[in-house]
Amino acid sequence: MADTQRNQFNTILNAIPDVMVLVDAELKIISVNAAWGQWARQNQCAEEYVKPVGVPYLYACAQVGLGDEKTGNDLEPGLREVLSGTRDAFELEYPCHRPSEPRYYLVRVSAIPAENGRAALCTHLDVTRRKLAEMELHRETRKLREQSLTDPLTGLRNRRALELLGRQYWANAQRRGGVLAVVYIDLDDFKPINDNFGHMEGDRVLTYIADYLQKTFRESDVIARVGGDEFVVLAWMAQAEDLGKIQARLVNRHRLTTNAGDVYEVGMSIGYAVHDPKLEGDLLYLIQRADTAMYEHKRSRGRKNS
């Protein structure tokens, strides 16, 4: 690039508020605009980096705080492809945080003609506001999605989550091997608790059972409240015989005390179903089997108590 052409080019670059750098085929800086110098001074860089002509571009970026070593490693392949003519442009978003605030930048690399072939024009754009807005939107979306999959009273998964996660669980079990177990739980005589002690006490029972199930089962198991006083647990087991370990852990009678000092018991009717996912059937059928087993357990206990 001739001196007159370079001066005209620099005049144009200096009028642009974004940080701009002209890089040669050896990845060395040909020119920077005024915004680069302002950035370097704001970050209290040595004077040699205010106008780092001839300095390796990626090294200079690291020195003035436009990214770090990782940013340079990610940027270099794309930059070389632009300079070699393999591609016409390249973009990379990178963090550029300050001690007092998060910052994000986007570097756009585009090819321009030069005396000895091609040069690269690297423009560093401040995209902090957009990035923070995207992150906030992502958080809110995740929050809303989590709320849509969570039972608000107990904090357990709801029926919709059981269906969504259950399909994933089923597919994983098919790939990994092993068997799936469904535990279906229904509380005994739950309505009299609401009638005798009020709905607040009924809610306390539900949260107590939810906490008990979370403490009893593994974090990897899916625990859901699927009805007023019905709960379902989906657990992966290495072999069908492991169901005995689950049955041994579960206590089906719990003694609670109201704030007024009244003592009462909460019973749980429990049904189990185990299925090898390599065989015919699906998760819904497995849950129905566990539900049927639970009602048979409830009826058998009723006959014993009568």
Catalytically annotated residues: 229
Among candidates 20, 12, 54, 58, which has minimal Cα distance to 36? Answer: 20
Residue 118 phi, psi (nearest 5): -130, 150
CA dist 37 and 22 (Å) reads 14
Q: Report which DSSP code applies to 86.
A: S
The count of C-alpha atoms lying within 13 angstroms of the C-alpha of 110, restricted to the half-sphere facing its C-beta, is 6
Do 177 and 281 meet the contact criterion of CB atoms below 8 Å apart? Answer: no
**Residue pointed to by tokens 């048979």:** 296
Structure tokens, 249: 């852990």
**Residue pointed to by tokens 């994983």:** 172
Do 291 and 271 meet the contact criterion of CB atoms below 8 Å apart? Answer: yes
CA dist 159 and 180 (Å) reads 18
